[in-house]
Structure 1
Amino acid sequence: MSSTSSITQVRGNVLTPHGWINGAINFGDLICNIDGHALDHEPVDGSPYANDGDYILPGFIDLHVHGGGGKDIMEGGDAVDVIARLHARHGTTSLLATTMTAPLEELEVALKAIGSASRKREPGSGRARILGVHLEGPYINPGKLGAQPDFAVEATLEQVDWLASFAPIKLITIAPEIDGHLELVRTLTTAGMLVQIGHTLGTYDDGVAALKNGAAGFTHLFNAMSGFHHREPGMAGAAMAHAEYAELIPDMLHVHPGAIRAALRAIPRLYCVTDSTAAAGMPDGDYTLGRQVVHKCAGGVRLADGTLAGSTLTMDQALRNLIAMGLDVSEASLRTSTYPADYLGVKERGRLKPGCFADILVFDRQFKLKEVYVEGEKIDLAHA
């Protein structure tokens, strides 16, 4: 990593790993330094440390992105660039492009495009950094497809290796109760891949076994998994009882706020994703999600039968939703930036400190996004 000669400065209330600093952050493509005086508490309105300065937070990291701006990741071609530009305008500075369950030839098309986009980010592109792939399917339970098309298959190491030859697979969703999958969880984890449990009919014991074999987290907690009952705690119960990490969609449609609160108490590093579709950032109407047509209406995205099919959520709205629930700004930032970075093992993103990439967000006092910087490049928010 090397910093550019041109230095930019933004001023306000800077959230650092050690707390708030009222002052300035100076950066090129990397953060150079942060100057100012430390605040003992959050500078929110009504607190003794309130002021009129902007909030400066680390860029969002979204590990579950299917689409946006009218485009779907499975389209291949330039779709990933359109999607990454849309989400950058809403504060996502890096993301995992997420696939749908599909025939292998369709996955190959999507992964080749993601692979190309992840190898470079052209200056002036206006898009988020593509960190790699979240392979959500086809290794899921056909009895718990959710909004996934019916192309689920049993996983093999050879097939995963073949798919990984087209793009870096950073995260893979697997239903561990399928024959052979538990052993594969162990193999993939040993090889350094993050394995998540999702789209599963597995029991509590299946979840515990998968975690013991190296599974690292859970895909869209509560959704498309066996639910919690006090005599049959299911996969959701395994997550609540044992998980360190799990992703959750805080659009207030996928998960009731009460369930979000329970998960926040139970799972130390619960983090937020959008599970966004092509409908994100678009007007109501019909869009594609993999092979399927989905309809956006009243803020949600559904299949023809009414099944929720991803979301229209963007990460800036996710942050606002968490704050509206009563989370401190600093905790909301952990769950939208730092924890997903830690989960991926990416220490140079998701936090504001010298030497990290200058992935920086500037919010006004009402948490409306004012400025976005991706690796020091200012993003045009005109179409956000």
Structure 2
Amino acid sequence: MDGVLLPAVGRIVTPDGIVNGTLIVDGDRFEGVLEREGEPTGWVLPGFVDVHCHGGGGFSLANGDPESARGAAAFHASRGTTTLVASLVSSTHGFLLDATRALKPLVADGTLAGVHYEGPYISAAKCGAHRVEVLRDPDLSELTELIEAGSGAVKMVTIAPELNGALEAIEFLDQRGVVPAIGHTNASYEQTAAGIDAGAQAATHLFNAMRAFNHREPGPIPALLDDERIFSEIVADPVHLHPGTMRFAFDTSLPAWTLLVSDAMDAAGLDDGRYMLGRHAVEVADGVATVAGTDIIAGSTITLLDAFRNTVRLAGQSVEAASQMASATPAELLGLGDVGAIETGKYADAVVLDDDLNLVSVMRRGAWLQV
């Protein structure tokens, strides 16, 4: 046993509630929580789990370069995201295959938790920052080759359920243990419901890049929010969603079915300027990333820590609820049993914040990181 790791008494968020005390770690795992008397200072949360991220700190996760991916993972870990999935944007099959093979060793060594294909099987009408010329209908032979190349690394695929072959692809992914997510879609309510019935388990950044709600033609949003089989991603920044929309989503979907994602690109944590997202040039001005020369949002410049704070400060959620949406719920979606909670036997991943939710320190796999 490595012993007590926090000199002061903190409010530790555990699956059983808040415990005033300190952490005990054995190697890279939690040994337990030691309750202590005294006035608690700050918060101790489970390490954040980001299942939708394209990069950060000047490093890309979307370009398929292993060293760049390691840089992005280190940047986000220093901001509290101790578990990270690499999200690739729509591209050719050859590129996705090469990128999957290149990133697979990082999944094997624990640097990444997996790979997410955000496209290319998405709607051209709701493609956002994805390049239209590489979009296509789902192809089971392509998916088979990608999944086999990943050897377990492929965790999630975003699909528009209205495309030809989409329902078969969703069913196929579900049977292969890969999470089918509905997103970048112009689907009707009925087409969305059919996708859920086929096995879809998640909504990729709910509200964003999908048909808007109309009281006579409701589209995908109410179908996704209303179904307990669906976990809903929320990009909790005021660029992607009005705080009232965030609050509505959290109060409707509830923390057990809602997960915070950063959707961050390379510019997260850096100054305004010009960057790349996949093959798109991106301009960042006042922290807002758009495809160069347009007003099309191109990912975000936030971290999951920013999303957590926005959830509390802008959307009025409790620290415990925001913590669940940033850690336990995304871990559950992807079946990551070793992370997402401060619990005996899980990886010792923790985020320490002060009373104002400022970052104090980060522990990953039992080791303190420089922040």
Please, what TM-score do these two structures have when normalized by structure 2? Answer: 0.93
Q: Aligned equivalents of 1:52 and 1:281: distance in 2?
A: 30
Alignment partner of 1:99: what SS?
strand
Is residue 2:105 matched to residue 1:120? no
Q: Any stretches of 5+ residues in structure 2 without a counterpart?
A: none
Is residue 2:207 matched to residue 1:209? no
Give a deviation string over 1:334-384, Cα, whole Å, max 9, x none: 111111011112232111111111011111111111111111121111xxx
Is residue 2:249 matched to residue 1:263? yes
Deviation at 1:239, TM superposition (A): 1.3
Give a deviation string over 1:102-145, Cα, whole Å, max 9, x none: 11222233222221211114xxxxxxx41111111111112211
Q: Aligned equivalents of 2:138 and 2:72: distance in 1?
A: 28
Is residue 2:117 matched to residue 1:131? no
Is residue 2:311 matched to residue 1:322? yes
Is residue 2:246 matched to residue 1:247? no
Give a deviation string over 1:158-179, Cα, whole Å, max 9, x none: 1112112332111110011111
Which of 71, 74, 97 in structure 1 is aligned with 2:59? 71
1:126 aligns with none
2:145 aligns with 162
1:182 aligns with 167
Q: Aligned equivalents of 1:55 and 1:232: distance in 2?
A: 44
Does the CA contact (< 8 Å) of 2:173 and 2:180 recur in 1? yes
Q: Aligned equivalents of 2:64 and 2:199: distance in 1?
A: 31
2:124 aligns with 142
Structure 1 stretches of at least 4 aligned residues deviating more than 3 Å after TM superposition: 5-8
Q: Aligned equivalents of 2:28 and 2:4: distance in 1?
A: 9
Q: Which amino acid aligns with 1:119?
A: A
Alignment partner of 1:34: what SS?
strand
Does the CA contact (< 8 Å) of 1:74 and 1:106 recur in 2? no
Report the CA distance shift for 1:51/1:231 in structure 2 as closer, same or farther (over 3 A).
farther
Superposition RMSD in Å = 1.6
Report the CA distance shift for 1:306/1:74 in structure 2 as closer, same or farther (over 3 A).
same
Please, what TM-score do these two structures have when normalized by structure 1? Answer: 0.90
1:19 aligns with 17
Deviation at 1:265, TM superposition (A): 2.2
1:377 aligns with 367
The aligned length equals 359
Does the CA contact (< 8 Å) of 1:73 and 1:110 recur in 2? no
Is residue 2:280 matched to residue 1:279? no
Give a deviation string over 1:249-307, Cα, whole Å, max 9, x none: 00111011111122112213111100000111111100000001001111110012111
Q: Percent identity?
A: 35
Q: Aligned equivalents of 2:3 and 2:107: distance in 1?
A: 26
Q: Which amino acid aligns with 2:236?
A: P
Is residue 2:297 matched to residue 1:308? yes
Q: Which amino acid aligns with 1:347?
A: G
Q: Aligned equivalents of 2:334 and 2:173: distance in 1?
A: 15
Does the CA contact (< 8 Å) of 1:227 and 1:237 recur in 2? no
Is residue 2:347 matched to residue 1:357? yes
Report the CA distance shift for 1:349/1:175 in structure 2 as closer, same or farther (over 3 A).
same
Alignment partner of 2:125: what SS?
coil
Q: Which amino acid aligns with 2:246?
A: I
Which of 94, 98, 101 in structure 2 is aligned with 1:109? 98
1:59 aligns with 47
Deviation at 1:242, TM superposition (A): 2.0
Deviation at 1:241, TM superposition (A): 2.3
Alignment partner of 2:306: what SS?
helix
Is residue 2:34 matched to residue 1:35? yes
Alignment partner of 2:62: what SS?
helix
Q: Which amino acid aligns with 2:241?
A: V
Give a deviation string over 1:294-331, Cα, whole Å, max 9, x none: 01111110012111110001011111111102211100
Q: Aligned equivalents of 2:211 and 2:90: distance in 1?
A: 19
Does the CA contact (< 8 Å) of 2:89 and 2:278 recur in 1? yes
In the TM superposition, 1:189-228 aligns within 5 A as 189-228=174-213
Q: Which amino acid aligns with 2:138?
A: A
Report the CA distance shift for 1:21/1:52 in structure 2 as closer, same or farther (over 3 A).
closer
Q: Aligned equivalents of 2:350 and 2:234: distance in 1?
A: 23
Q: Which amino acid aligns with 1:258?
A: G
Q: Which amino acid aligns with 1:209?
A: A
Give a deviation string over 1:217-260, Cα, whole Å, max 9, x none: 11000011111111111011211222541101001110111111
